[in-house]
Structure 1
Amino acid sequence: MMLQRLAASVELLRTNGGYRRYALARISSTIGTTVAPLGLAFAIIESGGGAAALGLVLMGGLLIFLAVTPAAGVAADRLPRLSIIVACQLVCGMSQLIAATLVVTGTASVWSLAGLEMVAGAAGAFFQPAVKGLVPQLVPPGPMLVQANALLQIANNAVAIIGPGLAGLVIALSSPGMILAWDGITFLASAAVFLTLRLPPPLRQERRRFLDDLIEGWSAFKSRRWLWVLTVLSALTSACWAAGVSVLGPIYATRYLDGAASWGLVTSAIGIGLACGSVTSLLFPPARVGLLMCAAPIPEALLMVSMASDAPLLALAGAGVLTGAAGTLQLITWTSYLQEAIPTEQLSRIMATNAMIGTLLVPISYAVAGPLAEIVGVRAVLGGCALIILGGAAVAVCFRDIRQLITCRTREER
């Protein structure tokens, strides 16, 4: 069976030219976006900013993303998705090239970089629901859809493991502006490849008011209890990850480990887990979607419990591997299931709503994690995050329709 799935994946790449070009376009931009945060951080530092300035820039991009996402989902269901994708890649590419020019010439300021990051955040909000809604137009439903998402994630994870180290070397030898320029070029290359795609003409739909489409998308989302319950669970786990790993992780490593070297080992372990989870989803695609969605956050809670209890570094690395594997397995399975279960004409709005609610608590976590840790301690916040994650998963698994959620192909086999 495993060899059959490998052979099917190779066949997908060999015979489906549309998916092959889609994957190449996605990987092209990922090569840049993986290293861009490092370039942005050091560009802000060179411009005279510190941690607060970096947080301001990242927060601005995220808030714009949240504000624009509902409209982006409607647009992706109303307009040609490929046109939206190409336009977003061009906007992101030009904004990064402008930022690179400002950094290299020494004229960048925190505010100019923040403004360009907000432009990129808005473009990213339109890009995500459109690009995820494109896959079902290229790959037939069923096992091939899971394989398509898994193959793309494997490539993305490989880039994520290699890219940051190379970016650090480039910054040390030249300028963070070179990383931003590289990101801009990869966006433009991605747009060029996307332009080569040939899609079947979309079904003609009745033209309605924008607000009507927005309301319909929200109604379609909330009418599926399994969907909004699992989205709320995703919001809780994302918020805890932002607080416990993104904000407090480096602080924990500085106070209780050996600093950046030890934390680098943990994050590398997470990266290894991401790669393992991608391969697992390709070779052994899960059938029980609901149970997987409830079980996948448990390793994240384990990582935070290990940190809160001062577990040895090796134990933290092991928990990191499990966390990365569970997270990427969950992402691939969930994306594939939505692409199968949601009608194409509603898919982008559902994806956008899922992304918006799933990210809604992250800005709050960024804002309160540090001050709360100063009051009650880093370990206490980490332990609290673990309890929130486990509590959310326990509540979600109590819903019968979630426990019975299985892939469409498994339902057909039955």
Structure 2
Amino acid sequence: IAQNLVKVGGPAIGGVLVAAVGSAWAIGWDALTFATSALLFARIDLKPGAVKVRAGFLADLWDGWSDFRSRRWLWVMVVQGALVVPVWLVGYQLLGPVYGERFLGGAGLWGLVVSGFTAGLVAGAAVALMWRPRLVGRVVCAGTGSLALPLAAMAAAVPLPVLVAATAVAGTGLAVSMTVWSGLVQERIPADRLSRALSYSTLGQLVPVPVGYLLAGPLSRAVGVRATLAGGALVIVLAAVVPLLIRQVRALALAGQPAHEPVPAEKAGVSARAPR
């Protein structure tokens, strides 16, 4: 919530800065904020802890990979992220400002769209505080699917208020899905294996991003920005729906929240240790 609250006003102010003084000054201000953040991080005093290496880096790397791929529900959702993350970043962060310039009239109005998304993130984080969903897999897929709304809205050239509302819904869905997914992963994966699982998860979702950026330019030039956004919305919808065909994903539930379709612990990769 704290992070998302700060993000609400930032895009709107950034849009005004670009419109008023130009993008160079806005990017210069952005660079200054990063430098300030680095100074703040430097003040954090973390004591080093002892690290026990059992068999060496490569052996630990392979052990982490074996554990990761043994959890079908985990790698299926990572594959989903590997499809959705680059498509979302291309559609929203790369082509979104282009759409704002061509169809909305400039950076100022696009800043309103981005503020709608971050406002949705705040709302979603608040919802996640009050709501403990039972069927996490379905909630995560629904939240992922909501990211298709802004891309579809831009492809259809809807009025600005409708586009802002679509991005707000997407932000809410994303925040809820990320929060409940984080809780599920921490419950189901033992603490001594969690960092490796998250590392492979992050790597799998980020590796396709540069490829998506490279393809976005030629593709949008060939078929147009709106057609590219429509295709991205379709990919996100398919990526959100297909994992639900797998029983393990449909039955994923937090501790104390049994699903209608229970999954044997040895298949779901549930830790024998009680969740904290």
TM-score, length-scaled by structure 1: 0.57
- Indicate the residue corresponding to 2:38 in structure 1: 187
Cα distance in structure 2, aligned partners of 1:359 and 1:212: 23
- Indicate the residue corresponding to 1:34 in structure 2: none
Which amino acid in structure 2 is aligned with residue 382 of structure 1?
L
Cα distance in structure 1, aligned partners of 2:67 and 2:39: 35
Deviation at 1:411, TM superposition (A): 4.3
1:344/1:194 CA distance change after superposition, 3 Å = farther
Deviation at 1:261, TM superposition (A): 2.5
Cα distance in structure 2, aligned partners of 1:303 and 1:164: 16
Deviation at 1:359, TM superposition (A): 1.2
Cα distance in structure 1, aligned partners of 2:28 and 2:113: 28
Deviation at 1:177, TM superposition (A): 5.6
Deviation at 1:255, TM superposition (A): 2.0
- Indicate the residue corresponding to 2:184 in structure 1: 337
Deviation at 1:395, TM superposition (A): 1.1
CA contact 2:11–2:115 (8 Å) conserved in 1: no
For 2:105, what is the secondary structure of its paired residue?
coil
For 1:246, what is the secondary structure of its paired residue?
helix
For each residue in 1:219-277, what CA deviation from the matched residue of structure 2 results, as whole angstroms up to 9, or x when unmatched? Answer: 11111111011111111111111221111111112222222232112111101101100
Cα distance in structure 1, aligned partners of 2:62 and 2:134: 32
Runs of 4+ in structure 1 displaced over 4 angstroms?
163-169, 174-179
Which amino acid in structure 1 is aligned with residue 41 of structure 2?
S
CA contact 1:247–1:370 (8 Å) conserved in 2: no
Greater shift in the superposed pair: 206-215 or 181-190: 181-190
For 1:409, what is the secondary structure of its paired residue?
coil
- Indicate the residue corresponding to 1:282 in structure 2: 129
Q: Which runs of 5+ in 2 are unaligned?
A: 263-276
Which amino acid in structure 1 is aligned with residue 38 of structure 2?
F
1:261/1:162 CA distance change after superposition, 3 Å = closer
Deviation at 1:184, TM superposition (A): 3.2
Give me the identity figure in percent: 37
For 1:208, what is the secondary structure of its paired residue?
coil
- Indicate the residue corresponding to 2:62 in structure 1: 215
User: Is 1:251 the counterpart of 2:98 in the alignment?
Assistant: yes
The count of aligned residue pairs is: 256
1:338/1:180 CA distance change after superposition, 3 Å = same
CA contact 2:186–2:194 (8 Å) conserved in 1: yes
1:179/1:302 CA distance change after superposition, 3 Å = closer
For each residue in 1:277-330, what CA deviation from the matched residue of structure 2 results, as whole angstroms up to 9, or x when unmatched? Answer: 010001113232110121112221122111111211111111110001111111
For 2:151, what is the secondary structure of its paired residue?
helix
Q: What is the 5 A alignment of 1:9-24?
A: none
Cα RMSD (Å): 2.8
Deviation at 1:186, TM superposition (A): 3.0
Which amino acid in structure 2 is aligned with residue 407 of structure 1?
L
User: Is 1:402 the counterpart of 2:267 in the alignment?
Assistant: no
> Which structure has the highest helix share of the two?
1
CA contact 1:230–1:293 (8 Å) conserved in 2: no
CA contact 2:154–2:229 (8 Å) conserved in 1: yes
CA contact 1:304–1:386 (8 Å) conserved in 2: yes
For 1:193, what is the secondary structure of its paired residue?
coil
For 1:410, what is the secondary structure of its paired residue?
coil
User: Is 1:359 the counterpart of 2:210 in the alignment?
Assistant: no
CA contact 1:218–1:353 (8 Å) conserved in 2: yes
Q: What is the 5 A alignment of 1:317-332?
A: 317-332=164-179
Cα distance in structure 1, aligned partners of 2:107 and 2:32: 27
- Indicate the residue corresponding to 1:155 in structure 2: 2
For 1:406, what is the secondary structure of its paired residue?
coil
Cα distance in structure 2, aligned partners of 1:374 and 1:179: 29
1:409/1:298 CA distance change after superposition, 3 Å = same
Cα distance in structure 1, aligned partners of 2:187 and 2:111: 37
1:378/1:206 CA distance change after superposition, 3 Å = closer
- Indicate the residue corresponding to 2:193 in structure 1: 346
Among 217, 232, 250, which residue is 1:385 paired with? 232
- Indicate the residue corresponding to 1:229 in structure 2: 76
Which amino acid in structure 1 is aligned with residue 115 of structure 2?
S
CA contact 1:272–1:324 (8 Å) conserved in 2: yes
Q: What is the 5 A alignment of 1:75-86?
A: none
Which amino acid in structure 1 is aligned with residue 221 of structure 2?
E
TM-score, length-scaled by structure 2: 0.83
